[in-house]
Chain A
Amino acid sequence: MRLLRVFERRKQDLEEEIQTHIRMDVQARIDRGESRVEAEEAARREFGNLALVRDVTHDHWRWNRLERLAENLSYAFRVLKRSPGFSITVILTLAVGIGATCAMFTVVDRVLLRSLPFEQPHDLVEILESGKHGVTPGPYLDIQQWQKRSHTLHSIAYFSANLIRVSFLEGSDGTTHVSAPLVSANLFETLGVRPALGRGFQEQASSVVDPQDAHSIILSDAVWRGVYGGQSSILGKVVRLDGNWFTVVGVMPRGFTFPLGTALPAIWKPIIIGDADTKRLDNGNPSYQAIARLDKGKDLSPAQAELNVIQADVAESYKNPDDHEDVSEIRLKRYDDTLVNSKVRTALLALFGASGLLWLIACLNVTSLMLARATSRQREIAVRGALGASRWQIVLQLLIEGLLLSGCGSLLGLALAASMLKIFEHGLTSQFSIHERLAPNLPVLAGLLLLTLVSSLLISIWPAIGAARADIEPALRQGSPQQGMGRAKHRTRAFLVVTEIALSLTLLVGCGLLLRTIYALRHVPLGFRTEHVIVANMTIPSYKFAGKNMTTQLYQPLVDRVKHLPGVESASLMTQVPLGNTFHMMFSLGDSGNSPDAIRRRNLRAEFRAVGPEMQRVFGFSMVRGRFFNEQDTAASQAVVIVNRAFVKAYYGDERDPGSIIGEHLLSLDSKRKAQVIGVLDNERQVSVEKQSMPEVEVCIPQITPDTGFYSGAEGVAMDLAVRTKLSPSAIYQELPEVMRGASPDLAASNFTTMDQIVEDSFGSQQLAAELLEIFAGSALLLCIAGIYGLLAYLVAQRTREMGLRIALGAQRSNVMWLVLRQAGWMLLAGLSIGVGIAYLSTQGLRTFLYDVKSNDPWTMVAVTLVLMVGGLAASWLPARRAAGVDPMEALRTE
């Protein structure tokens, strides 16, 4: 607005300047003796064309263009207001396409394009050891070798973080849940971030923390502000974390956190290198994830090659020759690539691509509408041309109309995108592990602006070129809307519709494949019952039970109390419920010797779970042989284990009777208690619905005591409480947290969900993709049908006279109908055959998503083709009927 005022003032200035000039001239003439009237007339004559002077001078001002733009805009606005039906159709169509793309771009931006809170994050690499059994973090001794010998990697730092483990920071007003990763002295330096307050951990030797700092911690900004109100007196303060006392020595800057992937605020503890780190032990060295920095912009492969050479020597230093193969190589990965796994990336890009297709279909549809409109506006444009508008001005005018339409579409699309993100928030945030709110932000708005511009160009460039090429004279001469004109335009529109059909088919095929996948996943036999089961994933305050037996003091009393809640049929504990994916413990056998049996058993890796005896009643696990745990299995009785069918197969390497494993000794609970196999479970899904069962070993919770080797790992870190109710799950939701709070206040913060939800979440990415694709493909189908209908209805309206003439000359009405249907059939056939080709190629990208259905599944293709075919023919039925119903007398008289 300010600009317009400045512009107005300049106009007045010029006016005054001109008036002054004339006044001076008049005065001079009067002084020379002319009369006032004569002088004024002569002065005006001499000055020349006032308006021309004004216009030419205005042209030299920069603002002039803006003024023209405003004029064009207001004209475009009036034009569009005159045909509200058209405008609203176009805006809605564009809003659907732009909204879908904008929503998906928001997710892409958040997941794939986010900037990490480190310096030059792309140069950070993660170093892990890899071998026969996959990828593992390395012990300090190995990291030390890399630090000494590598020239391609700098400041190799290491850390140890358990993202699901909750630590408890005790303050004056309650306990705060934090994550407390352990870090080496140089970690922050490697990341290129300095503490905002205080200092980092003191370095004793390279990367090793000075033992004097063993009880120092560094706070994140979130903890500092959230718990300590951002006081600068925090440095030197002594705080209690997980039951131990620490001194705060530093605070990290706002926005910094490491490692990424948890919503909890962080506190960093130092890694103190001790004897367990510096002497090679069998399976006993703590291991750390290592992270280092490449030279700026350098490639990964030289560093990879160098570290593999070093690692060959490192592997030699392992005493146990079996271990060599576990650590024979190094896996180097850019840190930012490790944050998004490739399946998620593909999924996200596929969905983004699908939304892009929908946008393209919307644009094609609108282009087709714009072309039809350009035909009916030929006269208006011709008149403007005749009145002196240049071709450029006419093109500009049409482009501005396009811009106005796509601008309105974008605004509406933004609202659509925001509501779509809201509706799918649970799916999107849990599938793509996003920890902040999902809403369009600045980069997304920039993207939206770009999308608006491109859309406006796409939809208006074709009609604009047509208008610029058209001759003025014939358009002015013909009285009625033209017939026989714009044949090329009809062909263009038919081509647009064909493309739309092809693209819609692609989306529909993708959607169909995912729906089949979901159907198949829902019908996988899971091996357990899911209905009426509530699961609480507990945050365990193990620090409060140091030196006590958690089994008898926390877990058993808790289960007893839960069982007495009204409506509870049974309740029990399990380190991790099937498909929970919160925590994994692996079990391996330590058979020595070189017989094929020993080697096979050494390589066996099994899921390890500690389970309460009542769990069979909660989940309805079925036994193949033997029995499940029961109340008689206690710390005092014979130690027992259960394995599953897959374990038996892997253990013996053949299909013998599963019962033959009963009575075997697989493991010991402690030095005195050897555990005996008492039963074989039927296979159940453990990791995800898609994955076949892995071998599994289960031990009985009441038999675990603090002396048991895996006590702290199994009981102190993760425990799920599963409850079967007679009532609906919501009835017990209120009471369960209360009971848990009674057992220990920290348990109230546990995560409550239902088993059904856990199963759904297990195929959440497919579920989400299917739901989004349903929307995208459904919209595409609607747009496509609207496109076919629009074109045919328009053609019929244009050819009313011709139809009338044909009927008057004796054509059967069915012939006329056939004329229209033939046109529709031709477009459908062309579109569908191109579409099947595109779909065949593009659904390859969906392959990682699919379960029990191939990406080129013929049934899906046929079904989808039929749907489009029927939809398309239905859309052409109405115009065809209208064509057949033309009254020849009326049609011929209209001329």
Chain B
Amino acid sequence: MIGKSAYKNRIELLQGTLDMLILRTLQWGPSHGYGIVQALRTQSGEALQVETGSLYPALHRLERQGWVQSEWKQTESNQRARFYSITRTGKDQLASDLSRWRQMVDVIGAIMQGEPRGDEV
């Protein structure tokens, strides 16, 4: 169970990354769950297959945080679907997520590129 305010696992890389990716996708315009999966797949060159088992909980979590909002609309193929769009606070969150992510990439990158200097026995 998740408390009212605590946004759990923010530092947990995987979950945090999924939230960030969803927000990023929604920046290009409102989309439904299937659309988001497809977008992420194409964007990543078919490399990233998002589990639906994580996607929907993530979407509902983001909605509770007030970072996305949803409404039922018709798709181009005339199906009723729930469209998610990013909110203002969601955009702020994305920006801060992005800078944290960049920082982390830099830090990890620096560590990983450095030559191992230990004395070999």
Contacts and interface: CB of A to CB of B under 8 A. Distances in A.
B53 A21 contact: no
Contacts of A14: 56, 60
A498 to B, nearest CB: 41
A56 B53 contact: yes
A48 interface: yes
B16 interface: no
A49 B53 contact: yes
Nearest to B2: A60
A17 B79 contact: no
B42 interface: no
A17 B82 contact: yes
B117 interface: no
A59 B52 contact: no
Contacts of A46: 52
A27 B76 CA distance: 13
Contacts of A61: 60, 64
A164 interface: no
A447 B25 CA distance: 54
Interface in B4-29: 4
B81 interface: yes
Contact of B57 (A13, A49, A57): A57
B51 interface: yes
Contact of A27 (B53, B60, B77): B77
B61 A60 contact: yes
A64 B53 contact: no
Interface in B25-51: 32-34, 38, 51
B52 A21 contact: yes
A884 B106 CA distance: 84
Contacts of A52: 53
B88 interface: no
Nearest to A52: B53
A794 interface: no
Contacts of A27: 77
A27 B1 CA distance: 36
A20 B79 contact: yes
A318 B67 CA distance: 82
Contact of A13 (B34, B51, B52, B82): B82
Contacts of B82: 13, 16-17, 20
A59 B38 CA distance: 26
Contact of A24 (B1, B56, B60, B79): B79
B63 to A, nearest CB: 8
Interface string A53-68: 1001101111011000
B1 A17 contact: no
Given A17-B33, A21-B33, A48-B52, A59 B77 contact: no
A20 B80 contact: yes
B81 A24 contact: yes
B12 to A, nearest CB: 15
A56 B51 CA distance: 13
Interface in B48-90: 51-53, 56-57, 60-61, 64, 75, 77, 79-82
A21 B32 CA distance: 8
Contact of A56 (B32, B57, B81): B57
A410 B52 CA distance: 49
Contacts of A65: 1
B26 to A, nearest CB: 16
Nearest to B4: A62
B18 to A, nearest CB: 13
Contacts of B34: 20-21, 24-25
Contacts of B1: 59, 64-65
A17 B35 CA distance: 12
Interface string B81-109: 11000000000000000000000000000
A18 B60 CA distance: 13
B91 to A, nearest CB: 21
A23 B57 contact: no
A519 interface: no
Contacts of A28: 38
A47 interface: yes
Nearest to A68: B1
Given A47-B52, A48-B53, A59 B79 contact: no
B57 to A, nearest CB: 4
B89 to A, nearest CB: 18
A23 B4 CA distance: 34
A151 to B, nearest CB: 51
B53 A20 contact: no
A607 to B, nearest CB: 70
Given A59-B1, A59-B2, A65-B1, A53 B60 contact: no
Given A21-B34, A47-B52, A60 B57 contact: yes
B81 to A, nearest CB: 5
A391 to B, nearest CB: 16
A23 B34 CA distance: 10
Contact of B51 (A23, A48, A60): A48
Interface in A5-43: 13-14, 16-18, 20-21, 23-25, 27-28
Contacts of A49: 53
A23 B79 contact: yes
Nearest to B63: A60
A17 B57 contact: no
A28 B41 CA distance: 14
B20 to A, nearest CB: 18
A556 B9 CA distance: 95
A20 B64 CA distance: 22
Contacts of A60: 2, 57, 60-61, 64
A14 B64 CA distance: 14
B57 A53 contact: yes
A46 B41 CA distance: 13
A868 B61 CA distance: 63
Contacts of A24: 32, 34, 75, 79, 81
Interface string A809-830: 0000000000000000000000
Nearest to A13: B82
Contacts of A16: 80, 82
A59 B3 CA distance: 11
A605 to B, nearest CB: 70
25 contacts: A13-B82, A16-B80, A17-B33, A17-B56, A17-B81, A17-B82, A18-B56, A20-B32, A20-B34, A20-B81, A20-B82, A21-B33, A21-B34, A21-B52, A24-B75, A24-B79, A27-B77, A28-B38, A48-B53, A53-B53, A53-B57, A59-B1, A59-B2, A59-B57, A65-B1
Interface of A: 13-14, 16-18, 20-21, 23-25, 27-28, 46-49, 52-53, 56-57, 59-62, 64-65
Given A13-B82, A23-B79, 5 more contacts: A14-B60, A20-B33, A25-B34, A53-B52, A60-B64
Going nearest first, the 6 A-B pairs with the smallest beta carbon separation are A24-B34, A56-B57, A60-B60, A48-B53, A21-B34, A20-B81
